[in-house]
A and B are shown apart, each in its own frame.
Chain A
Amino acid sequence: MPGPKRKSLIIAFVVAVVLALPAAVLITIAKKREKLEKVSALPHSVFLTCSGKPFVLTDPRSGKYSRQILNFFSPDCEHCQYMTRSYLRCRDKLSTTQILMITIADSASVAKFKCDYHLDSMPNIILLRDTAFECTRTFGITVIPSFFIYEDQKLAKKIVGETKIENLFPDEKNL
Chain B
Amino acid sequence: MNTAKPDNNIAIFAAYSLLYILIVYLINKMVYTDEFYYSLLGQKIATERIFDVIKIARKYQVLYYLLIPILFLLRTMIFSTAIFCGFYLIDKGLRFGIILKSVIQAEIVFVVVMLIRLVYFVLNPGLSAQAIPNFYPLSLTNLINLNNIPAYYIYPLQLVNIFEVGYMFLIAYGIKTVTRNTMLETLKPVACSYLTVILLWLSILTFLQLQLS
Decide if A121 is an interface residue (CB 8 Å cutoff).
Answer: no
Cα A14 to Cα B189 in complex, Å, equals: 14
Note all chain A residues with C-beta closer than 8 A to B44.
161, 163-164, 167
Binds A, one of B94-102, B108-116, B177-185, B204-212: B204-212
Cα A27 to Cα B204 in complex, Å, equals: 13
Decide if A32 is an interface residue (CB 8 Å cutoff).
Answer: yes
Binds B, one of A18-26, A47-55, A64-72, A123-131: A18-26
Note all chain A residues with C-beta closer than 8 A to B212.
142-143, 160
The chain B residue with its CB closest to the CB of A160 is: B213
Cα A165 to Cα B49 in complex, Å, equals: 12
The chain A residue with its CB closest to the CB of B205 is: A25
A162 adjacent to B211 (CB under 8 Å): no
B50 CB to closest chain A CB (Å) equals 10
Note all chain A residues with C-beta closer than 8 A to B89.
7, 10-11
User: What number of B residues sit within 8 Å (CB to CB) of A?
Assistant: 19
A21 adjacent to B213 (CB under 8 Å): no
Note all chain A residues with C-beta closer than 8 A to B200.
17-18, 21
Cα A162 to Cα B43 in complex, Å, equals: 12
Decide if A133 is an interface residue (CB 8 Å cutoff).
Answer: no
A163 adjacent to B45 (CB under 8 Å): yes
Cα A28 to Cα B49 in complex, Å, equals: 32
A21 adjacent to B204 (CB under 8 Å): yes
Q: Considering the complex, which residues of chain B in the window 3-58 have a beta carbon less than 8 Å from any beta carbon of chain A?
A: 43-46, 49
Decide if B196 is an interface residue (CB 8 Å cutoff).
Answer: yes
B210 adjacent to A29 (CB under 8 Å): yes
Note all chain B residues with C-beta closer than 8 A to A143.
212-213
Cα A171 to Cα B95 in complex, Å, equals: 66
B37 CB to closest chain A CB (Å) equals 15
A142 adjacent to B206 (CB under 8 Å): no
Note all chain B residues with C-beta closer than 8 A to A14.
196
Cα A133 to Cα B172 in complex, Å, equals: 52
Cα A167 to Cα B91 in complex, Å, equals: 59
Decide if A117 is an interface residue (CB 8 Å cutoff).
Answer: no
A164 adjacent to B45 (CB under 8 Å): yes
Note all chain A residues with C-beta closer than 8 A to B49.
82, 162
Note all chain B residues with C-beta closer than 8 A to A163.
44-45
Note all chain B residues with C-beta closer than 8 A to A24.
203, 207
Cα A53 to Cα B89 in complex, Å, equals: 64
B210 adjacent to A32 (CB under 8 Å): yes
Note all chain A residues with C-beta closer than 8 A to B207.
21, 24-25, 28
Note all chain A residues with C-beta closer than 8 A to B43.
164, 167
Cα A121 to Cα B211 in complex, Å, equals: 35
Cα A82 to Cα B52 in complex, Å, equals: 13
A18 adjacent to B196 (CB under 8 Å): yes
Residues of A within 8 A of B (CB): 7, 10-11, 14, 17-18, 21-22, 24-25, 28-29, 32, 82, 86, 142-143, 160-165, 167
6 tightest A-B CB contacts, nearest first: A21-B203, A142-B211, A28-B210, A25-B206, A164-B46, A22-B203
Residues of B within 8 A of A (CB): 43-46, 49, 89, 91, 196, 199-200, 202-204, 206-207, 210-213
Q: List 10 A-B contacts (CB under 8 A).
A: A7-B91, A14-B196, A21-B207, A29-B210, A82-B49, A86-B46, A143-B213, A160-B212, A162-B49, A167-B43
